[in-house]
Amino acid sequence: MSVEQPRYKLNEEVDFAIVGSGSAGGILAKELSTAGFSVVVFEQGPYRKSHEFTDDELGVLFYGELQGGGSRNNGQTFRADEGEVATVSPRQPADYAQTVGGSSVHFTGNFWRFREIDFVERSALGEISGTNFADWPITYDELEPYYAKVDWEIGISGEPGPNDAPRSKPFPLPPIPCSGSGVLMEKGAKKLGLTAQVEPHAILSKPFNGRMPCMHCGYCMWYGCKHGAKSSTLVSMIPLAEASGNCEIRAESAVFRVETNSAGRATGVRYFDPDGNERMQKAKAVILSANGAETPRLLFMSANERHPDGLANSSGFVGRNLMFNAHAAVNGVYEHPLNDYKGVQVSRIIHDFYESDPKRGFYGGGGLDARSLFSATPIFFAFAGMPPEGPRWGKAFKDEIAHNFTRQMSIVASTTSLPLDRNNITLDPESKDRWGRPALRMTYRDHDDDLAMAKFLQDRAYELHDAAGAEKFWRLPIEPATGSAHLLGTCRMGNDPETSVVDASHRSHDISNLFICDGSSFVTSGRGQPTMTIMALAFRAAELIGKAAKANEI
Partner 1 sequence: MRPDRCVFNDDESISNMYDEMGAKTDTISCRNVIASAAGAQGKNNMNESDISRRQFLGAGSSVTLAKLLGLSAPALTAIVETAHASQQRGTFAALSTEDAADLAAVASRILPSDDTPGAEEAGVIYFMDAALSREMAGQKAMIVEGIAGLNQSIEGETRFADLAEDAQDAMLAGIEQLPFFNFVWTMTMFGMFSIPSYGGNKNYVGWKLLNFEGLQAAWQHPFGYYDRAINGEDSA
Of 34 and 345, nearer to partner 1 (C-beta) is: 345
Pairing of strands 346-350, 327-333: unpaired
Question: Contact with partner 1 (CB under 8 A): which of 235, 318, 333, 386?
Answer: 386
Site for partner 1 in 464-493 (CB under 8 A): 476-486
Question: Under DSSP, is residue 39 helix (H, G, I), strand (E, B) or coil?
Answer: strand
Q: How many CB atoms lie within 10 A of CB 380?
A: 17
> Least distance to partner 1 from the beta carbon of 351, Å?
18
Looking at 217, 243, 280, 544, which residue binds partner 1 (CB under 8 A)? 217
Q: Which of residues 107-166 bind partner 1 (CB under 8 A)?
A: 107-108
- Which of 131, 406, 499, 512 contacts partner 1 by CB under 8 A? 406
For residues 265 to 294, the per-residue mask of contacts with partner 1, x marking binding by CB under 8 A and - elsewhere, is -------x-xxx------------------
Among 359, 388, 551, 552, binds partner 1 (CB under 8 A): 388
Q: At 84, is the secondary structure helix, strand, or coil? A: coil
Determine which helix (DSSP H) or strand (DSSP E) holds 464, and give its type and residue range.
helix 448-468
Q: Does 326 bind partner 1 (CB under 8 A)?
A: yes
Does 85 help bind partner 1 (rule: CB under 8 A)? Answer: no
CB of 253 to partner 1, least distance (A): 10
* Site track 52-71 with partner 1 (rule: CB under 8 A), x = hit: ---xxxxx-xxxx---xxxx
List the one residue out of 246, 253, 180 whose CA is nearest residue 216.
180
The answer to whether 254 contacts partner 1 (rule: CB under 8 A) is yes
Which residues on neighbouring strands pair with residue 270, listed in sequence order?
A: 257, 280
| # residues contacting partner 1 (CB under 8 A) | 105
Q: Is the Cβ of residue 152 or residue 380 nearer to partner 1 in the bound state? A: 380
184 or 194, CB closer to partner 1? 184
Using the rule CB under 8 A, which residue among 88, 235, 241, 299 binds partner 1? 88
Please report whether residue 342 would count as binding partner 1 according to CB under 8 A: yes
Least separation in angstroms between CB 353 and partner 1: 18
Angle between helices 180-192 and 448-468 (to 10 degrees): 100
C-beta of 284 vs 371, nearer to partner 1: 371
Q: What is the 3-state secondary structure (H, E, C) of 336-383?
A: CCCCCCCCCCEEEEECCCCCCCHHHCCCCCEEEEEECHHHHCHHHHHH
Contacts of 260 (CB under 8 A, 6+ apart): 266, 267, 302, 304, 306, 307, 311, 511
Q: Which residues of 21-57 are buried (b: 16+ CB within 10 A; e: fewer)?
A: bbbbbbbbbbbbbbbebbbbbbbbbebbebeebeeeb
Q: Which of 34, 92, 197, 244 binds partner 1 (CB under 8 A)?
A: 92
Mode of pairing for the β-strands spanning 438-443 and 247-250: unpaired
CB of 479 to partner 1, least distance (A): 5
- Residue from 183, 303, 544, 554 touching partner 1 (CB under 8 A): that is 183
Residue type, 218: G
Q: How far is the CB of 21 from partner 1 (least distance, A)?
A: 15
Q: Which range of residues in 3-11, 12-20, 146-154, 217-225 is near partner 1 by CB under 8 A?
A: 217-225
Contacting residues for 423 by C-beta, under 8 A, at least 6 apart: 320, 321, 322, 323, 443, 444, 445
How does DSSP assign 479-496, residue by residue?
Answer: ---S-BS--B-TT-B-S-
> Of 166 and 177, which has the nearer Cβ to partner 1?
177
Rounded to an integer, what distance in angstroms lies between the CA atom of residue 295 and that of residue 25? Answer: 12
343 is an interface residue for partner 1 by CB under 8 A:
yes
